[in-house]
Amino acid sequence: MRTKIVAGNWKMNNDKDATKKLIKSLDKSIKDLSLKNTRVIVAPTFVNLSSAVKKAKKSKIEVVAQNMHQAKNGAYTGEISADMLKAIGIKTVILGHSERRTYFNETDAALAEKVDAVLENKLETIFCFGELLEDRKSDNHFAVVESQLSNALFHLEAKDWKSIILAYEPVWAIGTGETASPEQAQEMHAFIRSIIEKKYNKEVADGVSILYGGSVKPANAEEIFSKPDVDGGLIGGAALHVDDFKAIIVAI
């Protein structure tokens, strides 16, 4: 049975106090949920990671990073390495978010190196990818997604996929209020599983959790999560509000 995951990407929001407060109220609010086979994740900004890890220590909440540099160390101003993250107790890193690809020019090639660094450091990644609106309009979305996955992940060995969580995020649905329909999400997730099976085998394809991201809200979460190949969500805006985030967790 694949692990279900609800991950909140807090992006560049919340100062130290707001981060701790949100973790505290989320902890209180999900304490009594059974969360069988389900992970609840939050990704605060770098500067608040350490205090977030401490705050979440005895809770059901996992704290992860939003990005990581591929080099071990060196002259990379403003960047953070795997060792630095591990030293404060981080085990999982989001990579390839469309905002990183768009605003910080992260390429598939750089992401392939980052994924390698994740694996070398025995970390895990939530690897994001997804097509632009023009790709979907021109019916190119499957080809775009296949190339993003193949360029950044298909050099891995089958065993490496234990450390990979996928997050399909159609860029046109991120922060826009426009969600992919549950059918569109299912169609893409099934396609993703099919190309992984073709490249590797059924065990790898069936084992990898594939999250959907893009304007997931309490009102649409249940229907999206009901699709057989959707194993959870990567949530942006709604993860900043404890009641909305809890409702999405309950939906899974």
Q: Does 14 bind ligand G3H (CB under 6 A)?
A: no
Count residues near ligand G3H (CB under 6 A): 14
Residue 135 tokens, joined = 């790709």
Q: How far is the CB of 113 from ligand G3H (least distance, A)?
A: 21
What is the pairing mode between strands 210-213 and 124-129?
unpaired
Q: Does 9 bind ligand G3H (CB under 6 A)?
A: yes
Rounded distance between C-alpha atoms, residue 154 and residue 176, angstroms: 30
The 59-98 site mask, x for binding ligand G3H (CB under 6 A), equals --------------------------------------x-
Please give the full DSSP string across 103-171, using - where no structure is assigned. Answer: HS---HHHHHHHHHHHHHTT-EEEEEE---HHHHHTT-HHHHHHHHHHHHHTTS-GGGGGGEEEEE--G
**Burial class of residue 151 (count of CB atoms within 10 Å of its CB; 0-12, 13-18, 19+):** middle
Question: Is 178 one of the annotated active-site residues of the chain?
Answer: no
Q: Strand pairing partners for 212?
A: 168, 233
Q: Does 153 bind ligand G3H (CB under 6 A)?
A: no
DSSP state, 208? S
Residue 239 tokens, joined = 């993860």
Q: Does 234 bind ligand G3H (CB under 6 A)?
A: yes
**Burial class of residue 17 (count of CB atoms within 10 Å of its CB; 0-12, 13-18, 19+):** exposed
Among 92, 125, 148, 215, binds ligand G3H (CB under 6 A): 215
Among 27, 135, 146, 169, binds ligand G3H (CB under 6 A): 169
The verdict on whether residue 11 carries a ligand-binding annotation is: yes
Q: Give the residue carrying structure tokens 């598939």.
A: 108
The verdict on whether residue 237 carries a ligand-binding annotation is: yes
Q: How far is the CB of 233 from ligand G3H (least distance, A)?
A: 8
The verdict on whether residue 172 carries a ligand-binding annotation is: no
Q: Which is nearer to ligand G3H, 207 or 214 (CB)?
A: 214
Among 93, 235, 248, 252, binds ligand G3H (CB under 6 A): 235
Alpha helices in 13-75 (DSSP H): 16-30, 49-55
Q: Give the residue carrying structure tokens 């909140």.
A: 8
Q: What are phi and psi of 40, to 5 degrees?
A: -115, 125
Question: Is 141 one of the annotated active-site residues of the chain?
Answer: no
Q: How far is the CB of 75 from ligand G3H (least distance, A)?
A: 29
Q: Does 214 bind ligand G3H (CB under 6 A)?
A: yes
DSSP state, 95? E
The 43-62 site mask, x for binding ligand G3H (CB under 6 A), equals --------------------
Q: Which is nearer to ligand G3H, 118 or 238 (CB)?
A: 238
Contact footprint for ligand G3H (CB under 6 A): 9, 97, 169, 174-175, 213-216, 234-238
Active site residues: 97, 169
Q: Which residues are annotated as a binding site?
A: 9-11, 175, 215, 236-237
